[in-house]
Structure 1
């Protein structure tokens, strides 16, 4: 008689099956979190050097490989810079990591041109008013230089589109709050990618240039109300011409 075999357990049903167990965090992720917390707790400033690789190996009791991978994680977060021969230094916070992540989020969420324009209408108009109150001489010089470059390259689609977006980024920065730039820069990046028809864009360029000039004039005069209205007029006009400027308006199909 063959020996009895243990019964095969039944497959868990949908009712009884629980969530899969959480995967424990990887060691480099754990070390990266500890290193980040130590960096913040010690009040290190941009440009300050972190301990050397051998010192970090001794401090955290892990291998060089783990320290290097933890460093790369922090570099991707925009917290440190890694250069051969110099080790890790604290990076200057500029929001670039936020811009990268937010741009990816916008793309994955199937953003439409109309949604981007709505975002600008809500935020950028008030930021432009703030720019009129807070702009510096350097801001004004950059805005004038941007307009001048467009005037010299009216038939160059790429140059004009680049300066168009740059003009708005300078205005946003002149608002004096870095969070505005960190939020709006990826929106402007998606807008830049949405323009498909160079001919229609260049045909509307004289009007864009005039509207940008009105925005600059109001900012230079320190007139917040005029800056707000000039920005609103410009953005409303862009929204009204979206079918001409972006024939494929929904450059990514929106999710249902």
Structure 2
């Protein structure tokens, strides 16, 4: 019997869900059955298996390489992050609205980082601040060190969802600064404020870290508004 388009879609969804359950119990890099084996297992056409495979690739669960077949991928949320970044680029939101999002997220991220950070993460925050201090404020190195610092705070919060959200936001900011008029904040203030945030996190004081992060982000917004009025 010939499969209709809707039947193929339902079957591919069912196969993808079944394989996803298998994948969640497998190790990264482990090989899945071949296309022929999956066709026999699920009693469906190769077209259905290929569509199910495409769905799993879209979800970031597997990789497919010639001669190697389908293997379990390391799930790092990058697919979701890419989609989020695309939505940011297609939105009609302003820079100020994006900074509102950062305020909501990053102020609490800093507070959590103060309570949960590791010694290694403290060292990495200090290293990023030294990179920032040494870099030319008009260079890509300065911008990279700035955004990497904020990502490291997300990591230090101990909550993987924060990092998942912050990466595409930072990618969007990086592209915007590079394509626009350049870095939007006063570099000297940024360096000082980053050091204060790092010190607050090192001290293990969530309230101080929260205040330092909010002070930094609100100052960036004020500076951006002044620049746009000139």
The verdict on a shared fold, with TM-score over 0.5 as the criterion, is yes
Q: State whether structure 2 residue 203 is matched by structure 1 residue 217.
A: no
How far is 1:65 from its partner?
5.0
Q: Which residue of 1 aligns with 2:210?
A: 228
Q: Is 1:120 matched up with 2:102? A: yes
* Contact 2:15–2:49 (CA under 8 A) maintained in structure 1: no
Unaligned runs of 5+ in 2: none
TM-score normalized with structure 2 length: 0.85
- CA shift at 1:54, angstroms? 1.8
Identify unmatched segments of 5+ residues in structure 1: 1-22, 249-256
Which residue does 2:86 correspond to in 1? 104
Matches within 5 A, 1:1-256: 24-25=5-6, 27=8, 29-42=9-22, 43-47=24-28, 48-64=30-46, 66-195=48-177, 196-198=180-182, 201=184, 204-244=186-226, 247=228
Report which of the two structures shows the higher radius of gyration computed on alpha carbons.
1
More helix per residue: 1 or 2? 2
Superposition TM-score, scaled by structure 1 size: 0.77
Offset of 1:63 from its aligned partner?
4.4
CA distance in 2, matches of 1:105, 1:59: 38
Q: CA deviation at 1:114?
A: 0.8
- CA shift at 1:33, angstroms? 2.1
DSSP 3-state at the match of 2:113: helix
Check whether the contact 1:143–1:170 (CA below 8 A) recurs between aligned residues. Answer: yes
Shift in Å at residue 181 of structure 1? 1.6
